[in-house]
């Protein structure tokens, strides 16, 4: 006879939650769960955890940066009631900003490269943001989405450009919240932390907090997708090369040392290059074995966490970031045709291809 769960004397499912109500969208940002990734931990002998940033109220890790840059601008008196927030973004920062702007009564204007998914553009517009998709050109080109955002803010009364790449209020938000949360959730035992970078805010903010708390013992690594230059910068001892190649992982990859990454790049202990084939395969694997429906940057981060676990060895505790959910990209990453067009269909193990239903 099957035993009831109640007979075991404890609930089958427990989860801690915040015991006091929080104030609106801003109050709901952060304090995300740390998820133990059971299968990968068993396979490596390490303890591998993913910080569930997709559970932020705007759906991504960038809600923290959005709050950080807006509240910093308010504190400095740069953003006044009725003001306009302007940003250049691949999407998630813009979505975070658009939520915070609705909650605080600001106007939101977003410039983004026209290579980003339609879901993100639609969502931004549904959140009331004014969206300008612009050609995806290099940072050096004056038509780059960031420069267009900066110029638009300059020409607009009572507007600020939040400048997520070089405004260190972004990394500061992770230094003050994400990093200490991870420290507390692991009971002060983090042997390795690894993640990919867009602005570098998450890596530098969390990395700095963990290094300080562990007296430098936590190994902080960077993971790079194709088309990003930071892995080669770190592994060559500081040579910056031209960007070449591209990746399916939206929101990550970088061609320069942003102010958010800044001098922290010298404290980074290792770096990894992760091919799209590995990321997409992990994305389908995490869905199949852990029930996690994640975006490609999260999958890349988990591949990197497994590689770090293999290097640091059994018994080590490794943490990475689960940046956002797949909802924002599903028309691409769950489309057979799209995967084929990227040459990635064969990278997905045959028994998992059934998830590509679009």
Residues with catalytic function: 62
Is residue 286 part of the contact set for ligand PMP (CB under 6 A)? no
Q: Which residue's CB is nearer to ligand PMP, number 83 or number 211? A: 211
Binders of ligand PMP among residues 41 to 80 (CB under 6 A) are 60-62
Size of the site for ligand PMP (CB under 6 A): 19
Is there binding between residue 92 and ligand PMP (CB under 6 A)? yes
The position carrying tokens 């990859």 is 253
Is residue 119 exposed (0-12), middle (13-18) or buried (19+ Cβ within 10 Å)?
Answer: middle
- Near ligand PMP in 246-265, by CB under 6 A: 251-252
Q: Which of 281, 297, 308, 317 binds ligand PMP (CB under 6 A)?
A: 297
Least gap, CB of 195 to ligand PMP (angstroms)? 7
Contact set for ligand PMP, span 193-222 (CB under 6 A): 196-203
**Minimum distance from CB of 152 to ligand PMP (Å)?**
20
User: What CA–CA distance (Å, rounded) separates 281 from 263?
Assistant: 34
Q: What is the DSSP string of 95-121?
A: HHHHHHHHHHT-EEEEEEETTS-HHHH
Q: Which of 90, 98, 272, 326 binds ligand PMP (CB under 6 A)?
A: 90
- Residue from 117, 324, 326, 348 in contact with ligand PMP (CB under 6 A): 324
- Residue 106 or 165 with smaller CB distance to ligand PMP: 165
Please say whether the beta carbons of 162 and 97 come within 8 A. yes
SS3 content of the chain, % helix, strand, coil (to 5): 45, 15, 40
What is d(CA 246, CA 135) in angstroms, rounded to the nearest whole number?
Answer: 15
b/e per residue 10-32 (b: at least 16 CB within 10 A):
eeeeeeeeeeeeeeebbebbbeb
Specify the residue, 37 or 323, whose C-beta has the smaller distance to ligand PMP: 323
Question: Interface with ligand PMP by CB under 6 A: which residues?
Answer: 60-62, 90, 92, 196-203, 251-252, 295, 297, 323-324
């Amino acid at each position: 006879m099957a035993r009831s769960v109640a007979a075991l004397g404890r609930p089958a499912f427990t989860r801690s939650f915040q015991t006091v109500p929080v104030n609106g969208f801003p109050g709901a940002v952060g304090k995300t769960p740390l998820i133990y990734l059971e299968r990968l931990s068993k396979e490596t002998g390490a303890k591998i955890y993913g910080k569930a940033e997709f559970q932020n109220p705007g759906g991504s890790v960038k809600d923290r940066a959005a709050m950080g840059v807006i509240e910093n601008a308010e504190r400095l008196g740069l953003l006044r009631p009725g003001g306009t927030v302007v940003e250049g973004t691949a999407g998630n920062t813009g979505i975070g900003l658009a939520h915070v702007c609705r909650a605080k009564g600001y106007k939101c204007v977003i410039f983004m490269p026209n290579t980003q998914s339609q879901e993100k553009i639609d969502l931004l517009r549904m959140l009331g943001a004014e969206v300008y998709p612009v050609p995806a050109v290099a940072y050096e080109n004056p038509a780059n989405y960031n420069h267009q955002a900066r110029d638009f803010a300059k020409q607009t009364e009572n507007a600020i450009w939040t400048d997520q790449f070089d405004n260190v209020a972004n990394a500061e938000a992770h230094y003050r919240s994400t990093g200490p949360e991870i420290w507390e959730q692991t009971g002060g035992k983090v042997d390795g932390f690894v993640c990919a970078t867009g602005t570098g805010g998450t890596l530098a903010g969390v990395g700095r907090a963990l290094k300080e708390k562990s007296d430098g013992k936590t190994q902080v690594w960077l993971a790079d997708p194709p088309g990003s230059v930071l892995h080669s910068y770190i592994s060559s001892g500081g040579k910056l090369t031209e960007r070449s190649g591209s990746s399916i992982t939206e929101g990550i990859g970088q061609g320069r040392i942003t102010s958010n990454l800044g001098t922290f790049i010298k404290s980074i202990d290792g770096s990894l290059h992760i091919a799209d084939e590995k990321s997409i395969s992990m994305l389908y694997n995490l869905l199949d074995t852990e029930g996690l429906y994640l975006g490609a940057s999260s999958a890349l981060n988990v591949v990197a966490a497994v590689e770090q676990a293999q290097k640091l060895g059994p018994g080590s505790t490794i943490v990475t970031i689960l940046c956002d959910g797949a909802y924002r990209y599903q028309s691409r990453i769950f489309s057979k045709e799209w995967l084929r067009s990227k040459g990635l269909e064969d990278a997905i193990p045959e028994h998992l291809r059934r998830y590509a239903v679009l």
